[in-house]
Chain A
Amino acid sequence: MFKLSSNSKRFLGCGFVPVIAISVLTLSNANAEPAADAPAKGEVKSDIKPPLAKEELEEEQLRLATVIHKRITDYQAIKNKTHDNQPQPFAAYQEKLISGAQFEMLPVKAGSFTWKGNKEGDSLEVTLSPFWMGKAEVTWDEYDPFMNNEIPRQKDGSVVDFARAQITNDIDFLARPTPPYHPMTFGMPREGHPAISMTQHAANKYCQWISYQTGHFYRLPTEAEWEYACRAGSKTKYTWGDNPEEAEQYAWFGGDAASQYHAPGKKKPNAWGFVDMHGNAQEWTLDQYVPDRRAYFGKDKVHNPWIKATKSYPHVTKGGYWKQPLEEITADKRIPSEPEWKILDPQEPRSLWYFTSVQWIGMRLVRPEKIPTAEEMYHYWNSGVATDAEL
């Protein structure tokens, strides 16, 4: 019932079991396994606002999301079978990409925290479903093979029309950056260091690309997930408390004296094992920046909140970066993205892939425990506001 791709195995760096590449044409026959995305009874609905659109989805992107969704759910079904459908421990794991690059994912159990707003009265009670989050920021070793690719592409990353017939693997149809003509490290070291200066769109597409390879669904963290994992149970300014004297043990920061980013994991992890949440590279989240979140949601308790972007700017970035003073890298600090981050780009439209003027914005991955639907995956990977209308 499945159309097997002869070279499907090499798309999956996980090395677990051979996984099947499925033609989208066979989808209607492929419902023998229990659907991993069926809503559990009594589950609280996520607060996604505005709600995810059901119509006017881009056909090619929906097809790709469906293909990847199938790979992910099939992989999960095979793993379930291997374990006689017994629940497996929710544990840390190591992921390996086709390129050989590896990264570690740490579990974050379901829980709640108070999301403090800018002023008295706009704080929110947040509950979150379980997810894994990258122990560290994504490095150049992981990101470079995504950025440097040899298929003839349009500037939006899609394959040029005249080359489509010669491309047979779906992974090559996934939108990829146009190779930069700046090394994007701005004089800083590359190997083992955080990847930087990608747009939020590029970060989303990177998540899609590694999801295809690994058979696990990856996306950017929501703002709430990021802050929850950064706090790791703390209610203080920083994950270690309020004491500035302890900061050096946990974070790269430091005003003008700090000249560059650092390889992850040189400082102490937080209580849940995450490194460099404060400082080092500033990190993307999925959310649009809205000053008053409580007013936006219109209630004081939210579950899995995601403020879906309706315009290109601003998005929320978190954690501050290595050059900033300690006060700027607190757990609650929110830094809105802005069009000026690519002001030096002489092309129109400006690049979908690079923020050449912010040499500190990086990313960290999230994998929710529950596999989303194909349509949800589509929305996580295709923001719909990737083009700068503001510039």
Chain B
Amino acid sequence: MSEQNTSNEKSPSQVTRRNFVKNATLGTAAIGLTPLAFPSLASAQAAGKKKLKVGVVGLGGRGAGAVRDIMSADPDTILWSVGDIFEAPMKKIAGINKKFSGRIDTDGGKREFVGFDAFQKVIDSGADIILLTTTPAFRPLHFAAAVAAGKHVFIEKPFALDIPGLKSVVDSAKKAKSNGQSVLTGLVWRYSTHLMEMHKRIQGGEIGDVLSTSSMYCAGGRPNKMPNMKFKPPTMSDMEWAQRYWQNFLELSGDGTLEYMIHGIDRMSWAMGDQMPIKCFATGANAVPVEGANAWDTFSIRYEYADGRTSDFLGRQVPRTFAGGSDIIAGTKGRAVTDGINVSIIKDGKTTWQSKGSLGYVNEHKIFTEHIRSGKVYNDVIGQFEHTHAITIMGREAAYTGQLITDKQLMASTDQLIDTNGLDFKTPFTARPPAEPGKTQFS
């Protein structure tokens, strides 16, 4: 990753991703990474066999899932504090307690916080690790606060929905790195052992030089599709309604591109060596629109890299249509093919290697907690997932506007989709009108 790092910073901990993958696939964790001793309080406290206290901000399905994953990955973790903007998810704590008995300690509920300020209360509760799994729009704000407080942080994808948000996250990630705090991102395909093995083979030259990729990430519908507005009670604020059905709104989810298709774009970027493309052209549509919402459901994106290589990506979230996630990675000596959890390498028309596996939900937390325990610093944002997010925003903007977008234009964008600082249910919310290519301006 250091070769493609857009930042000027060169840290001794930056290893090439080729090395990372090689090391990571040796065992459950990237044990071979250069250990760096950091004097920071957070690392020192967290290292060793002690209990790691976990605080979670956002206890929706994925938040509770992330709690389950980290507690499965490391038997010496305890759930220490919980926050959410809604009261209802607090009921889940009993269910978590059933699965991980004796590993929940919220001080009899005193460390269970409800409200828009709950994130700060969780961060200040004395936890070692903070899981940020709220509606994605809040991620840059919450991440900055967690890093400032010296915590190790898991940030669920997407961690930024626009370029100002991305710059904030990258700044926070750099601070975390120099302070010795680990940061893990929820782009789970990267932590899937069979995909790691395939990419290790690709980077080892097994299919020669990678020439181009063609990827798809298609679902049979939108998750948590917004119901008809007639069900919205008159007493419920527009912001509360939007928070309940956030996946449907560009401002809160970043659109299906950032919220969902980012997984496919990330696999593409992995194969292309985690670089920024220099140009992007895209088309897309709101093929089956949700009345009152603005996120699109269909994208076809072409990326061009500085060396002339291209990547094509197709994403869709339309009910009752063909779905799946796959990549064809074409190299000078063969190709690598993925289809869901099945992967193979094909040379001269013959399958020379194949494997299948599962996603990296637990594996990523093993890597994360093992780094924390050994005083090493993990960070997958810098040089890696910062690009994935930028590339995904690039694709969305190219489709929304219908314009060719360059990397320089993209990174100069000042368009902030929503200001989450001080936001609560009383904050007015009006969704932007759905984009219209040819009319919608890039800014």
Residues of A within 8 A of B (CB): 148, 150-152, 155, 162-163, 165-166, 178-184, 187, 190, 343-349, 387, 389, 391
Contact = CB atoms under 8 A, between A and B. Distances in A.
Contacts of A343: 358
25 contacts: A150-B228, A151-B227, A163-B227, A165-B233, A166-B230, A166-B231, A179-B225, A181-B219, A181-B220, A181-B222, A181-B317, A183-B221, A183-B320, A184-B220, A187-B324, A346-B188, A346-B359, A346-B361, A347-B61, A347-B62, A348-B64, A348-B95, A348-B96, A387-B95, A391-B99
Interface in B40-72: 61-65, 67-68
A348 B68 contact: yes
A106 to B, nearest CB: 31
A163 B231 CA distance: 6
A347 B317 CA distance: 19
B366 to A, nearest CB: 16
Interface string B224-242: 1101101111001000000
B233 A162 contact: yes
A379 to B, nearest CB: 23
B87 to A, nearest CB: 11
B321 interface: yes
A152 B220 contact: no
B98 interface: yes
A180 B221 contact: yes
Given A162-B231, A348-B92, A389-B98, 12 more contacts: A151-B227, A162-B236, A179-B221, A181-B220, A181-B222, A181-B223, A183-B221, A183-B323, A187-B324, A345-B65, A349-B61, A349-B64
Contacts of B359: 344, 346
B71 to A, nearest CB: 10
Nearest 9 Cβ contacts at the A-B interface? A183-B220, A347-B61, A348-B64, A348-B65, A152-B227, A181-B219, A163-B231, A348-B68, A181-B223
Contacts of B219: 181-182
A203 B228 CA distance: 27
B236 to A, nearest CB: 6
A165 B233 CA distance: 9
A150 B222 CA distance: 13
Centre residue among A162, A166, A389 by max chain B CB count within 10 A: A162
Contacts of B324: 187
B68 to A, nearest CB: 5
B61 A183 contact: no
Contacts of A349: 61, 64, 92, 95
Interface residues of B, number: 38
A155 B236 contact: no
Nearest to B67: A348
B227 A183 contact: no
Contacts of A391: 68, 99
A152 B225 CA distance: 9
B220 A180 contact: yes
Contacts of A346: 61-62, 65, 188, 359, 361
Contacts of B63: 348
B319 interface: yes
A181 B224 CA distance: 9
Interface string B341-382: 100000000000000001101000000000000000000000
Contacts of B233: 162-163, 165
B239 to A, nearest CB: 14
A183 B65 contact: no
A343 B227 CA distance: 28
Nearest to A161: B88
Contacts of B320: 183, 190
A165 B231 CA distance: 9
A180 B222 CA distance: 8
Contact of A347 (B65, B99, B228, B319): B65
Contacts of A155: 61
A199 to B, nearest CB: 16
Centre residue among A163, A181, A347, A387 by max chain B CB count within 10 A: A181
Contacts of B95: 348-349, 387
Contact of A150 (B223, B227, B322): B227
Contacts of B358: 343-344
A348 B324 CA distance: 23
Contacts of A387: 95
Nearest to B60: A347
A13 to B, nearest CB: 22
Given A346-B359, A347-B61, A348-B67, A187 B99 contact: no
A8 B186 CA distance: 49
A190 B322 CA distance: 10
Nearest to A343: B358
Contacts of A345: 65
Interface in B96-154: 96, 98-99
A150 B225 CA distance: 9
Centre residue among A155, A165, A187, A349 by max chain B CB count within 10 A: A349
B64 A347 contact: yes
Contacts of A389: 98-99
Nearest to A340: B358
Contacts of A148: 319
A256 to B, nearest CB: 14
Contacts of A152: 227, 231
Nearest to B59: A348
